[in-house]
Structure 1
Amino acid sequence: MSAFGYRKPADLPQTVALFPLSGAILFPRGVLALNVFEPRYLNMVDDALGAERLIAVIQPATGEENEAIPALCNVGTIGRITTFSETDDGRYLITLTGVCRFDLEQEIKSGTPYRQALVSYDEYAADFSASPGVGIDRAGLIASLKDYARSRGYAVDWEAVDQAPIETVVNVASQVCPFDPAAKQALLEAPTLEDRSSALIALVEWGSAGDSERPLQ
């Protein structure tokens, strides 16, 4: 069961507000901080706050969120607004906490300035519970992440990483590493946490190998 009382796909709405964001993915139990300033998305946040506080994060299929009506990927994640503040210049600073992934089934004409769609969560019933990641080589994963961080010159609190649940390690790394949108989407769509960990290791090892060929800046 999620922290918000959702137990199964039927507990979530079939019609959702869509927030297309290139390069941004959200995992169940993960968090995504957003700076909302476009009028249509300010309207979307207003509507969400007045209802179930749910917003669907999804990537444009082209990687170009600034297109007037970009085609969208087939899989996204429904998130719940868990923190909210308003700035003096009218922006909203929100945090979304992921609940469950979904398949985009059909966009609908909604009469709102933001896009809406019918979605299905049926393929992602396992998202409602944290994965123990029993098939993951934790030590190997962290070693690969350390090599990647070292090659990029990133500072990481490895003590915190060592103490975090394996699901958090995999999903946070998948979310924050600067992979291209297609790679991010592949990580999101990985069927299991073990599959995502394997894909993540492949990506960071490829990145580390490429960076080793040039000096650090």
Structure 2
Amino acid sequence: MTARAFLPKTLDLLPAELPIFPLTGGLLLPMGHLPLNIFEPRYIAMVTDALRTPQRLIGMVQSSDQAQSMGEAPVHGLGCAGRISAFSENDEGTILITLTGVIRFCIEEELSLAAGGYRCVRADFSRFGSDLSRLAPDPQAEDGAGANADGDVLRASIIDATKRYFDAKGFSTDWDGINNLGLAELVTSLGMACPFDPMEKQALLEAQTVEEQARTLAQILTMAAMGDGHENNAAVN
């Protein structure tokens, strides 16, 4: 049985309240896998409590004020809920987990601190029901979204922008693997793996559909490649 078999399939299976883990630069997208090293006592308590629930969900959010400590800083109003899909402890007393992205959510309100000292919110998932379809894509489709002519064009534009971005940054990758990804997988993999700044990552997260995320990703890659190219040309001249 695959990990996807344990993920919620409908909105009614999602909790009304969600613990949140504020992490600037920590982007989780539906279908993505985010490894985390948990060491603060309040977040160890959060993971322990989440593991006791059927859904095992934690909400990943970014701080909207990087000048403040992440634990107390105001956060963006939109995040992504992830299921704890892997868990291990080590001898130093820290916990290693992997979150698998399930669905994005809007924060309706922040609640009182949990008994373990971590933050919780009332979450509204209603805008992002389509995220759940990515978890169980149509086997007849190329991927869960964008498997059409427009999707093919977007996919090609992302791959082209990625090549220029990687050339500018001096990165290497498995191009055969990238070429075999469908649109949704491509957006998720590159969006989470590339070292974009926090606001660019938030823009990717907030784009409503896979197609909008794809266009946003292509723009970010293109602008980053152009910026590096201009800097390199200036240095040579």
TM-score by length of 1: 0.94
Map of 2:79 onto structure 1: 76
Give yes or no for the alignment of 1:12 onto 2:14: yes
Of the structure 1 ranges 35-44 and 105-114, higher mean CA displacement relative to structure 2 is found in: 105-114
What is the CA distance between 1:175 and its match in structure 2?
A: 1.3
Maintained 8 Å contact 1:16/1:54: yes
What is the CA distance between 1:64 and its match in structure 2?
A: 4.8
Map of 1:104 onto structure 2: 107
Map of 1:123 onto structure 2: 127
Equivalent residue letter for 1:100:
I
Residues 79-110 of structure 1 show CA distances to partners (whole Å, capped at 9, x for unaligned) of 11111111110111110001110000111113
RMSD across aligned positions (CA) = 1.8
Equivalent residue letter for 1:37:
F
Map of 2:39 onto structure 1: 37
Q: CA distance change for structure 1 residues 129 and 179 in 2, over 3 Å: closer, same or farther?
A: same
Maintained 8 Å contact 1:132/1:167: yes
Maintained 8 Å contact 1:23/1:63: no
Q: How does 1:30-179 map to 2 (within 5 A)?
A: 30-52=32-54, 53-64=56-67, 66-67=69-70, 69-109=72-112, 110-130=114-134, 131-133=144-146, 134=148, 135-136=150-151, 137=153, 138-179=155-196
Unaligned runs of 5+ in 2: 135-143
How far apart, in 1, do the equivalents of 2:101 and 2:70 lie?
25
Maintained 8 Å contact 2:7/2:102: no
SS of residue matched to 2:212: helix
What is the CA distance between 1:167 and its match in structure 2?
A: 0.8
How far apart, in 2, do the equivalents of 1:112 and 1:14 lie?
19
Equivalent residue letter for 1:132:
A
Maintained 8 Å contact 2:23/2:70: no
Of the structure 1 ranges 5-14 and 82-91, higher mean CA displacement relative to structure 2 is found in: 5-14
Q: CA distance change for structure 1 residues 185 and 3 in 2, over 3 Å: closer, same or farther?
A: farther
What is the CA distance between 1:49 and its match in structure 2?
A: 1.5
Of the structure 1 ranges 67-76 and 96-105, higher mean CA displacement relative to structure 2 is found in: 67-76
Q: Is the helix fraction higher in 1 or 2? A: 2
How far apart, in 1, do the equivalents of 2:194 and 2:67 lie?
19
Query: Percent identical across equivalent pairs?
Result: 37
How far apart, in 1, do the equivalents of 2:71 and 2:90 lie?
27
Maintained 8 Å contact 1:14/1:120: yes
What is the CA distance between 1:65 and its match in structure 2?
A: 6.3
How far apart, in 1, do the equivalents of 2:6 and 2:68 lie?
29
What is the CA distance between 1:36 and its match in structure 2?
A: 0.7
Map of 2:228 onto structure 1: 211
What is the CA distance between 1:8 and its match in structure 2?
A: 1.9
What is the CA distance between 1:67 and its match in structure 2?
A: 4.5
Maintained 8 Å contact 2:63/2:76: yes
Equivalent residue letter for 2:126:
D
Q: CA distance change for structure 1 residues 108 and 85 in 2, over 3 Å: closer, same or farther?
A: same
What is the CA distance between 1:51 and its match in structure 2?
A: 1.9
**Total equivalences in the alignment:** 216
